[in-house]
């Protein structure tokens, strides 16, 4: 247990350096627009809560709640701001009830729900958490773009480590791909690490039609879907499926 906690803390400390504000082609600005126009916001899978912390800096004065199953990530948020609700756990257990004008999942967090049951469960929980006029905003990678083909050590990401030297993140995908599930190992090295730290993940790549079936079943209607953060339409080659959904009218 201590080794696992140590690893989680070290990786959490690097998270914002690998994912800095404004560093991913307009996604932060897209989400911030929705946050600042909503009085109450729930960020599911918030990580360190960078978006919520920035929202406070930009003047958001309403309710902001960050929810994440990694306490080491939340601790960074807690140490940064006390005027945000930092909640450890998963949405299905949180039992929010019509409390938020916006529920969001950034950073492709939606893809961690890999079974039909998990997808249905989280969408039902989002639906419960939203007010009648609320919005659910999230993104998932477009499977037809086959982004995982670049998740190889040859496409590693290297950044300057705050303590000096270089931190490196690389991926290795398990082949062959299992339907719409992609499993992979992420390896991290940094000057403050004793050797290589590894993390295992499996993500689900739902296509647009499959995703929209789940949304409709859960009682959502789609307000907009985009293929990239510039609000261009979803096409065969679009890297993203960015969705803005609302509770369906009765």
State the DSSP H helix or E strand holding residue 149, giving kind and residue range, or none if neither: none
Sheet holding 130-141, edge to edge: 85-88, 63-68, 40-44, 100-105, 130-141, 240-247, 220-226
pLDDT digits (tens, 9 = 90+) for 224-234: 999 999 999 99
pLDDT digits (tens, 9 = 90+) for 145-175: 999 999 999 999 999 988 888 999 999 999 9
State the DSSP H helix or E strand holding residue 78, giving kind and residue range, or none if neither: helix 71-80
pLDDT band at 1 (very low <50, low <70, confident <90, very high): very low
pLDDT at 217 exceeding the cut of 70: yes
Is the C-alpha dihedral spanning 143, 147, 148, 149 positive or negative? positive
Q: Could you give the CA distance from residue 77 to residue 84 in angstroms, rounded to a whole number?
A: 8
* Phi, psi of 180, rounded to the nearest 5 degrees: -100, 15
Mean pLDDT calculated for residue range 22-30 = 85
pLDDT digits (tens, 9 = 90+) for 114-135: 999 999 999 999 999 999 999 9
CB 227 within 8 A of CB 234: yes
Helix H segments across 86-177? 91-94, 116-129
Q: Could you give the CA distance from residue 86 to residue 100 in angstroms, rounded to a whole number?
A: 15
**pLDDT attached to residue 21:** 87
Omega within 30 of 0 (cis) for the link into 28: no
Mean pLDDT calculated for residue range 216-240 = 97
Mean pLDDT calculated for residue range 137-141 = 98
Per CATH, the homologous superfamily of domain 2-141+206-247 is Vaccinia Virus protein VP39 (3.40.50.150)
Helices H / strands E in the chain, number of each: 7, 11
Of residues 233 and 1, more confidently modeled: 233
How many CB atoms within 10 Å of residue 27? Answer: 20
pLDDT digits (tens, 9 = 90+) for 44-78: 999 999 999 999 999 999 999 999 999 999 999 99
Of residues 181 and 12, more confidently modeled: 181
How many CB atoms within 10 Å of residue 80? Answer: 16
**pLDDT attached to residue 250:** 57
CB 134 within 8 A of CB 41: no
Domain locations along the chain = 2-141+206-247, 145-203
Of residues 15 and 33, more confidently modeled: 33
How many CB atoms within 10 Å of residue 206? Answer: 21
pLDDT digits (tens, 9 = 90+) for 82-115: 999 999 999 999 989 999 999 999 999 999 999 9
**pLDDT attached to residue 24:** 67
**pLDDT attached to residue 2:** 37
Of 144, 196, 140, which is closest to residue 172 (Cα–Cα)? 196
């Amino acid at each position: 247990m201590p080794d696992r906690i140590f690893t989680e803390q070290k990786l959490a400390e690097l998270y914002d350096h690998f994912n800095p504000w404004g560093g991913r082609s307009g996604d932060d600005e897209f989400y911030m627009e929705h946050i600042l126009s909503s009085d109450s916001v729930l960020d599911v899978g918030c990580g360190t809560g960078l978006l919520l912390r920035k929202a406070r800096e930009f003047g958001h004065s309403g309710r902001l709640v960050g929810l994440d199953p990694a306490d080491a990530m939340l601790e960074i948020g807690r140490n940064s701001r006390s005027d945000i609700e930092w909640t450890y756990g998963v949405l299905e257990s949180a039992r929010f009830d019509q409390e938020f004008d916006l529920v969001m999942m950034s950073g492709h967090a939606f893809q961690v729900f890999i079974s039909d049951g998990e997808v249905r469960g989280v969408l039902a929980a989002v639906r419960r958490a939203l007010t009648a006029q609320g919005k659910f905003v999230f993104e998932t990678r477009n499977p037809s773009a086959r982004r995982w083909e670049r998740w190889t050590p040859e496409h590693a990401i290297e950044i300057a480590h705050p303590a000096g030297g270089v931190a490196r993140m690389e991926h290795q995908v398990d082949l062959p791909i299992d339907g719409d599930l992609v499993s992979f190992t992420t390896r991290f090295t940094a000057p403050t690490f004793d050797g290589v730290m590894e993390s295992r993940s499996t993500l689900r790549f739902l296509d647009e039609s499959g995703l929209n079936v789940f949304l409709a079943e859960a009682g959502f209607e789609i307000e907009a879907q985009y293929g990239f953060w510039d609000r261009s339409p979803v096409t065969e080659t679009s890297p993203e499926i960015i969705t803005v959904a609302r509770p369906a009218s009765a």
